[in-house]
């Protein structure tokens, strides 16, 4: 096993290697990269992150389908849609279990949220003495989802139910992380990137275990916090940069 310094050096190198403009082309992050307005980036990013499970090519294709339906102007569409337009979406298939009804539900929630807020950032604020997004995601879910049960609730994971909330954590990385590599947007100025975690999925989980970063076998919120404790020792100001290292190592199967 590598010692602490060797492991940090190896992961710093890999983070730098994969956190590059070339990464965008094959990743769902390319979807929000098609826009320059903050609200367009947020909506396109949140939708792309929400359907980010399975094959990355099919995720991108499904996200493009949603953009096409919105006339490639997400913010304008969610603020000015007609009921007729929403009716025509209801029966569409979008991505696996995320269907037209779910898409319509999200559009309605965006409309309501943006009438009251300039940005989704205000729904994710960290409060003292919080050290991660555990409660912030809980507060966001309460704001974004209607109190009445709806099939779409399952598409917004809850750390309170011990979910790793991988897709929301990934979306948060896109919005919050600031560096000069051009992958993450860093458009949310009021939230510090020190609170970010690694989006934990099969790839990042397996690589983290192989490197001895985590010992838990489940990919759940407790494991997110176990990984947090280690990566924040490597870089307490920008822990989520190691997502590029772990994800890149997982996709390239370099360590297998």
In this structure, the answer to whether residues 8 and 38 fall within a common structural domain is no
In this structure, the answer to whether residues 45 and 78 fall within a common structural domain is yes
Domain endpoint, select from 73, 89, 120: 120
In this structure, the answer to whether residues 217 and 158 fall within a common structural domain is yes
pLDDT for res 256: 55
Domain count for the chain, please give it.
2
With respect to residue 136, please indicate whether it lies within any of the assigned structural domains: no
Mean pLDDT for 148-176 is: 95
3-class DSSP state for residue 94? strand
With respect to residue 71, please indicate whether it lies within any of the assigned structural domains: yes
Q: pLDDT band for position 135 (50/70/90)? A: very high
Q: pLDDT band for position 156 (50/70/90)? A: very high
In this structure, the answer to whether residues 14 and 85 fall within a common structural domain is no
With respect to residue 128, please indicate whether it lies within any of the assigned structural domains: no
3-class DSSP state for residue 128? coil
In this structure, the answer to whether residues 212 and 101 fall within a common structural domain is no
With respect to residue 231, please indicate whether it lies within any of the assigned structural domains: yes
pLDDT digits (tens, 9 = 90+) for 64-85: 999 999 999 999 999 999 999 9
pLDDT for res 112: 97
In this structure, the answer to whether residues 10 and 81 fall within a common structural domain is no
In this structure, the answer to whether residues 162 and 238 fall within a common structural domain is yes
With respect to residue 127, please indicate whether it lies within any of the assigned structural domains: no
Q: Residue 32 above 90 pLDDT? A: yes
In this structure, the answer to whether residues 40 and 76 fall within a common structural domain is yes
In this structure, the answer to whether residues 147 and 45 fall within a common structural domain is no
With respect to residue 135, please indicate whether it lies within any of the assigned structural domains: no
In this structure, the answer to whether residues 164 and 81 fall within a common structural domain is no
Q: Provide the token pair at 191.
A: 């939230």
Q: Which residues pair with 158 in a beta bridge?
A: none
Could you list the residue range(s) of the whole structural domain that residue 150 is in? 1-19+141-183+190-256
pTM here? 0.96
Distances (CA, A) of 153 to 93, 105, 117, 147: 18, 10, 21, 10
pLDDT for res 255: 66
Q: pLDDT band for position 54 (50/70/90)? A: confident
In this structure, the answer to whether residues 3 and 35 fall within a common structural domain is no
Q: Residue 203 above 90 pLDDT? A: no
- Residue 57 contacts residue 220 (beta carbons within 8 Å): no
Those residues whose C-beta lies under 8 Å from the C-beta of residue 129, and which sit 6 or more positions away, are none
pLDDT digits (tens, 9 = 90+) for 222-254: 999 999 999 999 999 999 999 999 988 988 877
Distances (CA, A) of 159 to 138, 165, 196: 7, 6, 14
Helices (H) and strands (E) in the chain, counts: 12, 2
């Amino acid at each position: 096993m590598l010692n602490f310094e060797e492991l940090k050096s190896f992961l710093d190198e890999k983070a730098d290697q994969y956190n590059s403009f070339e990464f965008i082309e094959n990743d769902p992050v390319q979807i929000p990269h098609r826009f320059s307005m903050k609200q367009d980036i947020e909506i396109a990013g949140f939708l792309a992150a929400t359907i980010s499970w399975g094959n990355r090519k099919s995720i991108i294709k499904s996200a493009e389908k949603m953009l096409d339906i919105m006339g490639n102007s997400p913010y304008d569409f969610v603020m000015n849609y007609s009921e007729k337009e929403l009716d025509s979406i209801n029966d569409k298939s979008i991505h696996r279990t995320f269907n037209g009804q779910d898409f319509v539900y999200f559009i309605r929630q965006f409309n309501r949220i943006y009438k009251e807020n300039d940005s989704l950032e205000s729904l994710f604020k960290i409060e003292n003495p919080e050290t991660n997004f555990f409660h912030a995601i809980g507060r966001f879910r309460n704001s974004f989802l209607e109190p009445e049960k709806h099939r779409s609730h399952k598409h917004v994971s809850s750390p309170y139910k011990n979910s790793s909330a991988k897709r929301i954590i990934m979306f948060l990385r896109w919005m919050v992380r600031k560096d000069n590599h051009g992958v993450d947007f860093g458009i949310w100025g009021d939230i510090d990137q020190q609170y970010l975690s690694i989006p934990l999925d099969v790839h990042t989980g397996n690589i983290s275990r192989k490197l001895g970063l985590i010992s838990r076998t489940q990919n759940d919120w407790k494991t997110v916090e176990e990984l947090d404790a280690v990566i924040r020792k490597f870089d307490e100001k920008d822990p989520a940069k190691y997502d590029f290292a772990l994800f890149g190592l997982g996709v390239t199967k370099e360590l297998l």
